[in-house]
Chains A and B, each alone.
Chain A
Amino acid sequence: MPRATRRRIGPTAGSALLLVLAGLLLLAVLLSLAAGSRQIAPSVVVDALLHGGGSDDAQVIWSLRVPRTLIGVMAGVALAVAGTVMQGITRNPIAEPGILGVSQGASVGVVCAIAFLGVHSLNGYVWFAFAGAGIAAVAVYVIASGGRGGASPVKLALAGTAMNALLASVVSGIATTDARALDEFRFWHVGSLSGRSAEIAGQTWPFLLAGLLLVAAMARGLDALALGEDVAKGLGHNVPLLRILGGLGATVLTGVAVAAAGPIAFTGLAVPHIARALVGADHRWVLPAAALLGPVMLLVADVLGRVVFPPSEVPVAVMTALLGVPFLIALVRRKAVVAA
């Protein structure tokens, strides 16, 4: 980031911090397994995880909460890393899959696959999610870079808003005309972790891994890009290639998250900024920190959504937006965003 502190973190301090974050994630996972409309004591949770067993609590944990938590962790990792990469390659502090309409693009891809091609398995429609996310990302970036001033934050956000509105109306148009699967579609409007099976988590991880590897390979390139395009070029990086690979990685990660949990905004915005505040500007530390913090935020948001109005559940995307908007406002009030 142009304005990020140039503070570097040492290997010892960095590892310690990552360990703390991992502990935090473990706590969030436990919380997600224990809390809900049926409260289960942490000791019972641990016991059920270790020994299984046929009690009601163990049933609830294994059949409902474990898949849900797994998908939450995966979507959280994917969204946080995707947000970090997007902020890096666009050099723009408010870039994020949700705000830029990339998630909604993936969502439209999935809805089209289900409605018009009859694809119902994740292995089938995840490709459509990738295609939709990619097209939406390119379209928003091209629109925002048009006109004078290049892709400034306000133009990116507006282009993303317009794209979101357009795609959301496409989704609701398809959902209204195709009454047979209205319930299936509702999920693609507002992201949620409920009702997703363990099978989905099992099918998601290869794609997630591919996206993460792609992004991990370019951490140094992102660092160079943070210093400016010319400097990156001078340091021997191929900037267009870097942007294309980064865009590809972010698209794959967003597509994975949407295919698993539906469109969820603001996780990818808040988490990279927190991670950068903790570990400095070095992407080799920022990326793992974001990958650990992302699921923490998503799981906490999901637990909040489960306990706020029991017995009904608030979709996780609603809660992340409520948690994330203050972040956006704080970022925008800092002068850097608007003057950029």
Chain B
Amino acid sequence: MTSLTRPVRPTGFSVLRVGRGSFLLHRRATLVAVLLGAVLAVTAVVYLCVGESFVGPTEVVRVLCSAVGGGQPSPDEFVVGTLRMPRLAVGLLAGAAFGIAGSFIQTVARNPLASPDVIGVTQGAGAATVAAMTFGLAAPGTLPYVSILGGLAAAALVYVFAWRRGLHAARFVLIGIGISVALGSLTQLFLTKGDFLVAQQAKVWLTGSLNGRGYDHAAPLALILLVLTPALLWAARAQRTVLFDDDTATAQGVRLGRVRLCLTVLGVVLASVATAAAGPVDFVALLAPQIARRLTRTAHIPLVGSALTGALIVTVADLLARKLFSPIELPVGVFTAVVGAPYLMWLIVRTRSRSGGTS
């Protein structure tokens, strides 16, 4: 053993010591996360200001403070606190959940194309939710859990059909596209079955709109994110070990199969819960991790960055959807699709290898 005067440290990282523990922090990733957080905070305030009537930023901050600290009520309490806040909360949480889900599944598949909205997870969650709504099978409070079941079932279906002496990325994506079309059609079928009022309700939900979303949509999402926090902390570490090629990872003692399964299940659950709250908002799970990774320039997909980028995408898209053609509100999914679909096309044009590894 040679003694070193300076500890060996990977380039680009700093060591953070807390008590007896220590972490490696990627400097650029940390900087990006802080900046994204700041941009997100500004966007959130703008989001609360803008609408049918304009509320000044100072007034918005006062409402926020009174909500937290309980000062004297502001005259704009109703517009900002009751109308816009819940909607913002749903957008932020759903965007973050989509971003995290995308980062897990893209990491496991080693392929940006295999994001939950391309391979049918969100469509599965949608079909299950609409079925539960129109057949009256579930109470409104349990809808997010029905949605999780739907997402998991869709993922399992894609996996079973794509498995043939191993998984091939191209086959996996093609089967995923097929299953998502089938599930989309099933959703339409269920809509026809339901009585008019329920069908109308389900249709509004299906457009992927944040219009009329309240705390009752945000609460289960927040709860599930909170419950999953320990799992997410574990996953942030596990995400990097999966990146090694199979032999290296196995030699380092990583149980690849198990880690991949856990990451996939986590991703599917998060995408489904987000779908239950905000409806199928397309392409956020595809876009957010890719943008975040380009910002941080890391080899792996940064978890915090993806979550923040996802939240930012949904918030900005909803802001545009509300204001661009006002007084008409567009569904937020329209905007994310207009940005996301060309990006997917660009990804196809510049793919280097056809298969992109197994998943």
Contacts and interface: CB of A to CB of B under 8 A. Distances in A.
B174 A146 contact: no
A168 interface: yes
B178 A158 contact: no
A321 B179 CA distance: 10
A333 B330 contact: no
A144 B328 CA distance: 36
Interface stretch (A2-10, A34-42, A169-177): A169-177
B192 A314 contact: yes
Q: Which of A147, A163, A337 has the most CB of B within 10 A?
A: A147
Contacts of B118: 158, 161
Interface in B183-198: 184-186, 188-189, 192-193
A94 interface: yes
B340 interface: yes
Nearest to B282: A165
A97 interface: no
A159 B174 CA distance: 11
Nearest to B338: A169
A179 B328 contact: yes
Given A144-B348, A147-B348, A173-B334, A162 B182 contact: no
Interface residues of B, number: 47
A329 interface: yes
Interface residues of A, number: 49
A178 to B, nearest CB: 9
B171 interface: yes
Nearest to B158: A329
B186 A322 contact: yes
B69 to A, nearest CB: 40
A231 B45 CA distance: 65
A312 interface: yes
Contacts of A66: none
Interface in B28-61: none
Contact of A169 (B161, B177, B179, B341): B341
Interface string B306-340: 00000000000000000001001111011101101
Interface in A302-340: 308-309, 312-315, 317-319, 321-322, 325, 328-329, 332-333, 337-338
B8 interface: no
Contacts of B329: 176
B330 A338 contact: no
B345 A322 contact: no
A165 B174 contact: no
Contacts of A172: 207, 331, 334
Interface stretch (A20-28, A105-113, A149-157): A149-157
Interface string B134-159: 00000000000000000000000000
A147 B118 CA distance: 20
A166 interface: yes
A321 B174 contact: no
Interface in B288-311: none
A265 interface: yes
A153 B335 CA distance: 28
Contacts of A51: none
B341 A165 contact: yes
Contacts of A155: 348, 351, 354
A158 B173 contact: yes
A-B complex: 4 closest residue pairs judged by Cβ atoms: A166-B341, A146-B349, A169-B337, A325-B182
Interface of B: 113, 118, 161, 164, 168, 170-171, 173-175, 177-179, 181-182, 184-186, 188-189, 192-193, 207, 282-283, 325, 328-331, 333-335, 337-338, 340-342, 344-345, 348-354
21 contacts: A99-B177, A143-B345, A146-B349, A147-B348, A148-B351, A155-B351, A157-B177, A158-B173, A161-B177, A161-B344, A162-B341, A165-B283, A166-B337, A169-B333, A173-B338, A176-B329, A177-B325, A309-B193, A321-B181, A332-B175, A338-B168
Interface of A: 94, 99, 143-144, 146-149, 152-155, 157-159, 161-163, 165-166, 168-170, 172-173, 176-177, 179, 190, 265-266, 308-309, 312-315, 317-319, 321-322, 325, 328-329, 332-333, 337-338
